[in-house]
């Protein structure tokens, strides 16, 4: 069997068995390397060589976690929660609660969408925005799988469709790699070609909210450590102002420098000054502030370790050379059958992206192979764009190693009641990857 398929199946299978995703990634990489003919030592060396590719991202998430928990001490998240609970009402009727749940899910989707294009901070907003809302979710008895689906939609669909922020980067990668592979396309063609696949994702979101996860689900009201400690402090308007200022500075710094690390650092500096003020007023000791930020780093350390392991896994997949073999073998079955070609290309894209965990990193790999293959069987440039864009997006949702699933899990699991695989990866896989395959295939057939 193809080493890529073996590696991905082992990784997914172990993850579904609730084996820790880092262990699953390492084991999958070893299985793929051995299947490709590498020795154990060679596989380990290749895996280790790929670990540094995501170290910057891991450090960024750790600092964002510290910033997110630090913000809780300004009183801003508590204010958000109290306002939301006041709007919902503890004695609200069933209909009111249902409408509020739907409204809240759409607000989450819009904010997540803004994080890709309007204010491109990606998942940086999640550890700040989501944990304080968990009490509201519990009050509404909201199924957090619906919230995970809403967040992942907002983290993916906008950059696939809209050429701004991360979307501009994604579209430029598609156009550039298609041109380098011998097919000239205009940037304006990409949103047109990907409109139908994104419509499939929207349909999946609506099904998740109104059908699959519309029933109530009970969660325990578990106090977060930061919230428990913060209740003893007497916050004033100054704390709220500091919280708002820190968030604005983080977003501005990140936009100006294109660095999550520097953005989080500027916010932490502001919070340290505020902690110094609390220390002078004997409301927070130095050791408490240090423990606070350490706990915040621990909150997103999970994402960091997964992203680092995913870098090694992706390096092993690339080094096997079996991505090319997979597509070459597939091309022999296709002939001139456009329908069969499209579905096989999409399924291959699903396997590759599930393993690599990034749409952006997948596009250069599949474009080099898909463009000549599409040209050989007579697919139009628009149809080729639809296949490449959809194949790149496939697997990002549902992948245990994707930040589009890791980010939502980190926020929704702040009280340890949300499972990364079964409550984020499986729901997003079912509601987005299946519609993407169907609507991406239709787009390739009609364009």
- Residue 88 has a pLDDT of 56
- Residue 314 has a pLDDT of 75
pLDDT greater than 60 at residue 258: yes
Nearest residue to 58 via CA among 421, 292, 306:
306
Nearest 10 degrees: CA dihedral of 64, 67, 72, 73? 170
Q: pLDDT tens digit string along 379-437?
A: 888 999 999 889 888 877 888 878 788 889 888 888 888 988 899 989 999 999 999 99
Instruction: Kindly indicate the confidence band of residue 148, based on its pLDDT and cuts at 50, 70 and 90.
Output: very high
- What is the C-alpha to C-alpha distance for residues 360 and 388, in angstroms, rounded to an integer? 11
Burial of 273 (0-12, 13-18, 19+ CB in 10 A): exposed
pLDDT greater than 60 at residue 232: no
Encoded tokens for 197: 């696949």
Exposure string (b/e) for 375-387, b if CB count within 10 Å is 16 or more? Answer: eeeebebbbbbbb
Percent of the chain with pLDDT over 90: 15
- What is the C-alpha to C-alpha distance for residues 235 and 50, in angstroms, rounded to an integer? 46
Q: pLDDT tens digit string along 273-312?
A: 888 777 776 666 777 777 777 777 776 677 677 778 877 8
Q: Write down the pTM of the prediction.
A: 0.73
Mean pLDDT of 315-341: 74
pLDDT greater than 90 at residue 340: no
- Residue 151 has a pLDDT of 93
Encoded tokens for 368: 């080099």
Q: Do residues 138 and 97 touch, judged by C-beta distance below 8 A?
A: no
More confident of the two residues 366 and 77: 366
- Residue 239 has a pLDDT of 76
pLDDT greater than 70 at residue 231: no
- Computed over every residue of the chain, the mean pLDDT equals 79
Q: Lowest-pLDDT range, 8-22, 107-121, 184-198, 357-371?
A: 357-371
Mean pLDDT of 257-276: 81
pLDDT greater than 60 at residue 199: yes
Q: Do residues 178 and 129 touch, judged by C-beta distance below 8 A?
A: no
- Residue 120 has a pLDDT of 61
Percent of the chain with pLDDT over 70: 83
């Amino acid at each position: 069997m193809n080493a890529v398929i073996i590696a991905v199946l082992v990784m997914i299978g172990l993850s579904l068995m609730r084996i820790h995703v880092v262990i699953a990634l390492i084991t999958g990489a070893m299985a793929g390397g051995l299947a490709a003919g590498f020795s154990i030592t060679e596989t380990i060396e290749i895996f280790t060589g790929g670990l540094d590719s995501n170290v910057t991202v891991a450090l960024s998430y750790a600092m964002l976690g510290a910033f997110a928990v630090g913000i809780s001490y300004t009183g801003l998240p508590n204010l958000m929660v109290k306002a939301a609970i006041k709007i919902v009402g503890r004695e609200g009727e069933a209909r009111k609660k249902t409408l509020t749940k739907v409204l809240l899910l759409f607000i989450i989707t819009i904010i997540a969408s803004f994080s890709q294009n309007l204010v491109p901070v990606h998942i940086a907003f999640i550890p700040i925005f989501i944990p304080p809302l968990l009490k509201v979710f519990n009050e509404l008895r909201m199924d957090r799988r619906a919230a995970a689906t809403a967040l992942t939609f907002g983290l993916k669909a906008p950059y696939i469709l809209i050429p701004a922020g991360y979307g501009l980067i994604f579209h430029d990668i598609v156009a550039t790699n298609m041109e380098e592979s011998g097919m000239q396309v205009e940037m304006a063609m990409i949103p047109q070609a990907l409109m139908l696949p994104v419509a499939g994702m929207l349909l999946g979101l609506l099904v998740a909210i109104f059908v699959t996860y519309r029933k109530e689900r009970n969660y325990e009201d578990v106090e977060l450590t930061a919230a428990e400690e913060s209740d003893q402090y007497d916050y004033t308007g100054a704390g709220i102002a500091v919280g708002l200022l820190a968030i604005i500075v983080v977003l501005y710094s990140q936009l100006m420098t294109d660095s999550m690390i520097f953005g989080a650092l500027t916010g932490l500096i502001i919070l340290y000054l505020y902690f110094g003020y609390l220390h002078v007023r004997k409301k927070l000791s130095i050791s408490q502030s240090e423990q606070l930020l350490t706990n915040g780093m621990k909150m997103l350390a999970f994402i960091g370790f997964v992203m680092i392991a995913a870098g090694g896994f992706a390096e092993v997949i690339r080094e096997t050379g079996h991505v090319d073999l997979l597509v070459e073998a597939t091309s022999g079955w296709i002939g001139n059958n456009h329908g069969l070609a499209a579905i096989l290309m999409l399924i291959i894209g699903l396997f590759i992206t599930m393993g690599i965990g990034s749409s952006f990193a997948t596009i250069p790999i599949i474009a080099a192979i898909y463009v000549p293959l599409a040209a050989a069987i007579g697919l139009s440039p628009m149809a080729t764009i639809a296949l490449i864009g959809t194949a790149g997006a496939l697997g990002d949702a549902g992948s245990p190693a994707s930040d589009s699933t890791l980010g939502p899990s980190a926020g929704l699991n702040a009280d340890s009641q949300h499972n990364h695989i079964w409550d984020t990866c499986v729901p997003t896989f079912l509601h987005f990857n299946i519609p993407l395959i169907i609507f991406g295939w239709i787009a390739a057939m009609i364009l």
